[in-house]
């Protein structure tokens, strides 16, 4: 009935974290990117909108961050792994909905020498050795 936190608090804390920890571009990729931009003016790519495939957007815009709710979607992880490894860096309490109660922030690390992984050569839907991921992949 009386939550101790809100999405706006989580969005502000996430933006403050990004501003305090520079990592290439300030650009964030998130399924809730549009809401995060509205709340804090953080530049985002909302991976829920658009007709381009996410790997093409990642190559073109080269974001520094990714945020998800509670876990990582294996298909989104597959797309991110084409260009990046992920490091889970922060969690922010957001809603009292069990599916969206924690906004999870990841730092995106470009692959060495601009490498591009091929999903046909390996399964990119799982945590890879160069990742630091604590949330479930589901």
Q: What domains sit in the chain, N to C, each tagged with a CATH number?
A: 7-110 (3.40.190)
pLDDT in tens, 101-118: 999 999 999 999 889 998
* Mean of pLDDT values over 69-92: 95
pLDDT in tens, 10-46: 999 999 999 999 888 999 999 899 999 999 999 999 8
pLDDT in tens, 52-61: 688 889 999 9
Alpha helices in the chain (DSSP H): 7-20, 33-40, 54-61, 74-81
């Amino acid at each position: 009935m009386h939550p101790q936190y809100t999405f706006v608090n989580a969005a502000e804390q996430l933006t403050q974290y990004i501003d305090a920890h520079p990592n290439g571009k300030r650009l964030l990729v998130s399924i809730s990117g549009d809401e995060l931009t509205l709340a804090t003016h953080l530049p985002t790519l909302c991976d829920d909108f658009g007709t381009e495939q996410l790997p093409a957007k990642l190559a073109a815009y080269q974001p520094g961050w990714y945020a998800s709710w509670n876990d990582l979607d294996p298909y989104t992880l597959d797309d991110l792994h084409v260009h990046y490894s992920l490091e889970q860096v922060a969690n922010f309490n957001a809603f009292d909905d069990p599916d969206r109660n924690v906004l999870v922030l990841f730092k995106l690390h470009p692959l060495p020498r601009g490498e591009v992984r091929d999903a046909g050569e390996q399964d990119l839907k799982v945590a890879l050795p160069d990742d630091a991921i604590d949330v479930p992949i589901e």
